[in-house]
């Protein structure tokens, strides 16, 4: 009695297992999913697929529906402007596996003194200073050139950063002579400004000093009614007035120099 029942149970299980297997095969054939793996030379990169955060690199075999998806990679040091986010479009087909590798280009800021130098990479002119560049290779050499100045060739670091270059004028050029004349004029202008400023400060302090002493002697005169003390008050008031006039003249000269430039 038990044997026929056992046989029926075995047949039922085999039949049911066959149905399940057939359903799984049908699901695989009709599947609308694919898988993606994300890698990078930088660990800890955050990955967003269609604004959904899925984890940090390395990521293996993430199931994604077929179709077009927007993938965004965020560098671990996302607060540093030298590491901008990388955004790309990924197309997933049914039952397809894709391996994605992201590399971050590093930004370099190139400045020159004077500014406006032409920046050349290989045979192409890519802009003028100040300039922001994305460096993707270790051997990244640029040339800075400007009329009247010597050319400068500088290597940029793949790690990014700021690079400042002081251009040297060509000897005997108009730029060099103009720079020399400008330097002399600037020195003369600076000296005049310093002298006028110092005179204004000194004469102003002198005027205040004489005025304070005159006020003190005037208080003594009011108590003693002394003619000699009154003479001192008048003399100190006169000196204070002369110093105040010198202060106004110095301020006028200082204003003239500042406005003339």
> pLDDT for 19-50, tens place per residue?
544 444 544 455 688 889 998 877 788 999 98
pLDDT for 48: 93
> pLDDT for 198-254, tens place per residue?
888 888 888 888 888 888 888 888 888 888 888 888 888 888 888 888 888 888 787
pLDDT for 14: 43
Q: Which residue has the higher pLDDT, 81 or 96?
A: 96
Q: What is the 3-state secondary structure (H, E, C) of 8-51?
A: HHHHHHHHHHHHHHHHHHHHHHCCCEEEEEEEECCCCCEEEECC
| Of 160-174, 178-192, 195-209, 216-230, the least confident | 178-192
Q: Which residue has the higher pLDDT, 228 or 185?
A: 228
CA dihedral 24, 26, 28, 32 (to 10 degrees): -130
CATH topology of domain 31-104: Immunoglobulin-like (2.60.40)
Gyration radius of the chain over CA positions:
41
pLDDT for 23: 46
Domain boundary assignment for the chain: 31-104, 106-166, 174-260
Q: CA 46, CA 56: separation in Å to the nearest integer?
A: 4
Q: Which residues contact 96 (CB under 8 A, 6 or more apart)?
A: 34, 35, 66
Residue 68 main-chain phi, psi, to 5 deg: -100, 130
Q: Is the model's pLDDT at 17 over the cut of 50?
A: no
């Amino acid at each position: 009695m038990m044997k026929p029942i056992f046989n029926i149970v075995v047949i039922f299980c085999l039949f049911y297992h066959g149905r399940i297997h057939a359903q799984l095969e049908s699901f695989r054939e009709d599947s609308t999913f694919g898988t993606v793996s994300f890698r990078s030379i930088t660990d800890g990169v955050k990955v967003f697929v269609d604004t959904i955060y899925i984890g940090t690199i390395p990521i293996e075999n993430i199931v994604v529906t077929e179709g077009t998806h927007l993938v965004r990679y965020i560098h671990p040091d996302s607060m540093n402007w030298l590491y901008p986010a990388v955004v790309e479009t990924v197309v997933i087909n049914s039952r397809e596996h894709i391996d994605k590798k992201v590399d971050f280009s590093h930004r370099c800021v190139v400045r020159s003194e004077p500014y406006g130098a032409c920046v050349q990479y290989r045979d192409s002119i890519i802009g003028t200073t100040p300039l922001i560049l994305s460096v993707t290779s270790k051997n990244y050499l640029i040339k800075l050139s400007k009329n009247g100045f010597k050319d400068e060739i500088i290597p940029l670091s793949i790690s990014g950063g700021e690079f400042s270059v002081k251009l040297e004028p060509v000897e005997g050029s108009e730029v060099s002579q103009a720079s020399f004349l400008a330097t002399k004029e600037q020195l003369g202008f600076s000296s005049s400004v310093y002298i006028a400023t110092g005179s204004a400060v000194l004469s102003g302090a002198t005027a205040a000093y004489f005025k304070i002493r005159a006020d003190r002697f005037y208080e003594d005169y009011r108590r003693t009614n002394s003619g000699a003390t009154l003479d001192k008050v008048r003399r100190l008031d006169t000196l204070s007035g002369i110093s105040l006039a010198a202060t106004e003249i110095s301020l006028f000269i200082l204003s003239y120099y500042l406005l003339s430039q």
